[in-house]
Structure 1
């Protein structure tokens, strides 16, 4: 039986966002945050554990994983198969909701805790060769951090190909998520029991009939979403071509090219070229 794709958000959340796999999430977070957290996390609370399978069917459902550390830090973990564009703005928007949502009426701003967003992406976004990019709010000239409360991580799976250092535990996690051949699982999980547990969870899900049914339903939702994005992208390209043609015709009209010549050259009627000329006034 084929192994399910762990990058599909439903599968990802089942593996990393379930109470029984909280140790898996904790291990992954420690490997991701090793450069920014002074001490490894020892305890987390799942804020939105995987419970309701009906969300799998919802088109607008965001199957993210949210956790809180022992000292109140907020962590949001999300995986995305397709580029929905404006990922930077979407990330800031969801980060701000999580950050501001901590305060209840009358609470002082000092009660706000650091909020960390981790995006695992199946596409490239950041214009560098690093598979792991980390962002903070810094002063442009001195690099001084205004506040440590904002921290955003981008983990870009397509960039992993140039990194083969399996001594880096984060590379192992991401190689698993990327879909490395199962024959190498043992190598990846060496001295990493939580990763081995994640693999076992994926194998179990892959053999579970209900899980496979939910997987297929979620894949249909995601593929419909992908199709809608492709159509919007194609429409944008076509509109861009039309705009380009109109601008070219306007330029030719400025140089005195006749309406009849422009109509023949651009497969338009003379009336259509006349409308373009009228729009220039």
Structure 2
């Protein structure tokens, strides 16, 4: 059953909500919640990310939204629906595109305008649970924690880690995150989101407002989203199973070593652990 509002984690939903001229004010409002006062956006224009890529393969995997404000700062806004191997490397690699885009032919003093890479993630990329943070604001710092370079910024939002309920929302940023995380689940506009900027978002996201071509595109986007999530979940489950098997084998090796050190015969150790006699003989 299709929900009343579309899934903003799909390519279609995300670009419809933030990546069109008609929804530009929403993108500006959302970005301004993440940006420092000196880089607040009044106006912006969308840029074609494919113009920055050198190869066809790069164009196939280019980011969702690339835009620039009137003073020249560049912004990459990416919605990642499935966990990506080497995600941090991936983010750093793609942040170099708007840097290279500023290069000028002929004499150039290498002056650069700020670049922001903003990633909204439908997964947890931190492996260690005690190190997980919903929001991470990253820039280059030296060994004393002082900012070394203030023109390259990364902002990561691990959406599964945002657990605030409606009554706990305090800031406008809280409301945006709550809106994005729960949009597909709403069947009406919550009172706390009954503001013009969110009312417009709900209006754009209402599936019944899509024409037939848009609806077909959305269904394809849902399929792509579900496939990506399924592949990631399967790989994760297989990894957990493989880890359990490896752990069990290591435990049996440990038991076998202990029994072997106590002078127990190899045949009895094999019966006790399930290891072959050859495996036991090779244990040191």
TM-score, structure 2 as length reference: 0.77
CA distance in 2, matches of 1:211, 1:234: 34
Q: Cα–Cα, structure 1 residues 199 and 62, in superposed 2: closer, same or farther, change >3 Å?
A: farther
1:116 is displaced (CA, Å) by: 0.3
How far the C-alpha of 1:266 sits from its partner, in A, is: 4.1
Alignment partner of 1:41: what SS?
Answer: coil
SS in 1 for 2:162: helix
User: What is the alpha-carbon distance in structure 2 between the residues aligned to residue 236 and residue 167 of structure 1?
Assistant: 39
Give CA deviations for 1:72-96 in whole Å, capped at 9, x if unaligned: 2110111223333533332222223
Partner of 2:243: 240
Residue 23 of structure 1 aligns to a residue in which SS?
helix
8 Å contact from structure 2 (residues 63, 77) kept in 1: no
**Mapping for residues 28-177 of structure 1, pairs under 5 Å:** 28-33=30-35, 36-38=36-38, 40-48=40-48, 61=61, 64-104=64-104, 106=106, 108=108, 110-125=110-125, 131-141=134-144, 143-162=145-164, 164=167, 166-177=169-180
SS in 2 for 1:111: coil
Does the 8 A contact of 2:6 with 2:207 survive in 1?
A: no
Secondary structure of the residue aligned to 2:14 is helix
Structure 2 CA distance for partners of 1:160 and 1:258, relative to 1, 3 Å:
same
The answer (yes or no) to whether the contact 1:4–1:205 under 8 Å persists in 2 is no
Does the 8 Å contact 1:139/1:145 carry over to 2? yes
Q: CA deviation at 1:140?
A: 3.3
Which structure 2 segments of 5+ residues have no match?
A: 50-59
C-alpha distance 219-62 of structure 1, shift in aligned 2 (>3 A) = farther
**Paired residue for 1:10?**
12
| SS of equivalent to 2:67 | strand
Give the Å deviation of 1:119. 1.1
Give the aligned CA root-mean-square deviation in angstroms. Answer: 3.1
DSSP-derived class of the 2:117 partner: strand
On the 8 A contact 1:76/1:116 being kept in 2, the answer is yes
Looking at structure 2, the residues matched to 122 and 65 of structure 1 have their Cα atoms a distance apart, in angstroms, of 17
Shift of 1:17: 0.6
Q: 2:204 aligns with which of 201, 205, 210?
A: 201
1:274 and 2:281 equivalent? no
Distance 1:12 1:251, change over 3 A: same
| TM-score (norm. length: structure 1) | 0.78
Please list every run of 5 or more consecutive structure 1 residues that lacks an aligned counterpart in the other structure.
50-59
